[in-house]
């Protein structure tokens, strides 16, 4: 069944006018002192360079069930190449593709630097991503092999923002749930998708170290 959704304008107005006072306040805060969030500083602490998360949320150009089916088919058609490629990247613990609402998502846990990881992507299965980019909203230029920087920038822009460290410390005023810190509100305003925390059953180990320890060829 093809679902019908309200137009983008109607969605926008609905989202903003539910609590118009709050929305206006956020816009005022943003205007007065915008929060800038350098990705590198927020995402990685020294020594915290293994088992990184990539939560890639790619809005589909066609969010209908037909569009979602096309995205599922594109993944299915390339799944062998993707898994072989991930194996060759060598630094990947887990990776999976999900359809969540109108988004095609790739969630993965990898070791090392995100941009190195993405460049390895390009070299091992760039053609697969080129095919996927045909299905997403406002895609980067393709082929990604000829535009690696633009591709990586696009991926980083669609990777859920990660709040590292002590999330509870972001909310120092425990007694008043309504009193949300301005910085947190502005951060969420800037980043619709946010990772709030992660758990590891074997911290500080690389994918290759786990494979070596468990007798799987690395």
Partner 1 sequence: MTVEPVPDLADIQGNILRGYKKDHVRHLVLTITDPQAARRWLLDATSGETAGTPQVTTEKSYSEKPPTCLNVGLTHAGLETLGVAAKHLRTFPHEFVDGMASRALKLGDTGPSDPRHWKAEWQDPSKVHVVVSVHADSPGQREKAGKEVLDAGDGAAFDKTAQLDGDAFPGGQVHFGYRDNIAQPHFAGIRDPIDRPDRQPLVEVGAVLLGHQTPVEDVRWEVPQPKRLGFNGSFNAFRVLEQQVGEFEDFLSQSAALIKDNGMANMVLPPDVEKTWDPPTSRFEAMRELVAAKILGRWRTGVPLALSPYSPTPVCLGKLNDFDYANDTDGLCCPVGSHIRRCNPRSSRIVQRNTNHSRRIVRRGMPYGPPHDPDHPDDGKERGLLGVFICASLIAQFEAIQYDWMNLGLQDPRITGTNDAVVGNNEPEFSSFTMPVGSSSIELRGFSRFVHTVGGAYLFLPSIRALKYLGSLHP
Residues lying near partner 1 in the complex (CB under 8 A): 40-41, 44, 46, 49-50, 88-91, 111-113, 115-116, 119-120, 122-124, 126, 143, 145-150, 153, 204, 206-209, 211-212, 218
Nearer to partner 1, 46 or 172 (CB): 46
Residue 124 Cβ vs partner 1, minimum distance, rounded to whole Å: 6
Question: Cβ(49)–Cβ(206) under 8 Å?
Answer: no
- Nearer to partner 1 (CB atom), residue 37 or residue 116: 116
Helix (H) or strand (E) holding 107: strand 103-110
CB of 149 to partner 1, least distance (A): 5
Bin 159: left if φ > 0, else alpha if -120 < ψ < 50, else beta.
beta
Token pair for residue 215?
């007798």
Smallest CA-to-CA distance from 89 within 134, 60, 54 is with 54
Q: Between residues 182 and 205, which has the closer beta carbon with respect to partner 1? A: 205
Does residue 195 have a cis peptide bond before it, meaning omega lies within 30 degrees of 0? no
| Residues ≥6 apart with Cβ < 8 Å to 55 | 105, 107, 159, 160, 162, 193, 195
How near is the Cβ of 77 to partner 1 at its closest, in Å? 20
Smallest separation (angstroms) from partner 1 to the CB of 139: 16
For 56-86, b/e burial (b = at least 16 CB within 10 A) is: bbbebbebeeebbebbeebbeebeeebeebb
Q: How far apart are the first and last CA of the chain?
A: 45
For partner 1, the closer of residues 121 and 161 by Cβ is: 121
CA distance 65 to 73: 12
Of residues 50 and 109, the one with the C-beta less far from partner 1: 50
Minimum distance from CB of 33 to partner 1 (Å)? 21
What is the smallest separation between the CB atom of 40 and partner 1, expressed in angstroms?
7
Q: How many CB atoms lie within 10 A of CB 126?
A: 19
Residue 119 CB, nearest approach to partner 1 (Å): 6
Q: Is 105 or 150 the residue whose CB approaches partner 1 more closely? A: 150
Which one, 104 or 122, has the nearer CB to partner 1? 122
Q: Tell me 4's DSSP state.
A: P
């Amino acid at each position: 069944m093809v679902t019908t959704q309200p137009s983008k304008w109607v969605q926008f107005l609905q989202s903003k006018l539910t609590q118009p006072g709050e929305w206006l306040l956020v816009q005022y805060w943003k205007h007065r002192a915008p929060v800038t969030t350098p990705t590198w500083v927020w995402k990685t602490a020294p020594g915290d360079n293994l088992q990184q998360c990539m939560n890639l949320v790619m809005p589909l150009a066609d969010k209908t069930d037909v569009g979602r089916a096309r995205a599922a088919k594109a993944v299915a058609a390339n799944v062998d190449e993707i898994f072989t490629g991930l194996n060759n990247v060598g630094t990947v613990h887990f990776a999976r593709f999900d359809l969540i609402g109108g988004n095609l998502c790739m969630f993965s846990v990898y070791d090392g630097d995100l941009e190195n990881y993405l460049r390895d992507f390009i070299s091992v299965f760039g053609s697969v991503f080129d095919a996927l980019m045909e299905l997403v909203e406002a895609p980067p230029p393709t082929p990604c092999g000829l535009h690696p920087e633009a591709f990586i920038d696009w991926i980083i822009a669609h990777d859920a923002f990660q709040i590292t460290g002590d999330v509870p410390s972001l909310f120092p005023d425990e007694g008043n749930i309504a009193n949300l810190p301005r910085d947190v509100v502005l951060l969420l305003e800037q980043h619709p998708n946010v990772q709030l925390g992660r758990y590891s059953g074997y911290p500080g180990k690389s994918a290759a170290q786990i494979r070596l320890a468990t007798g799987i060829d690395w």
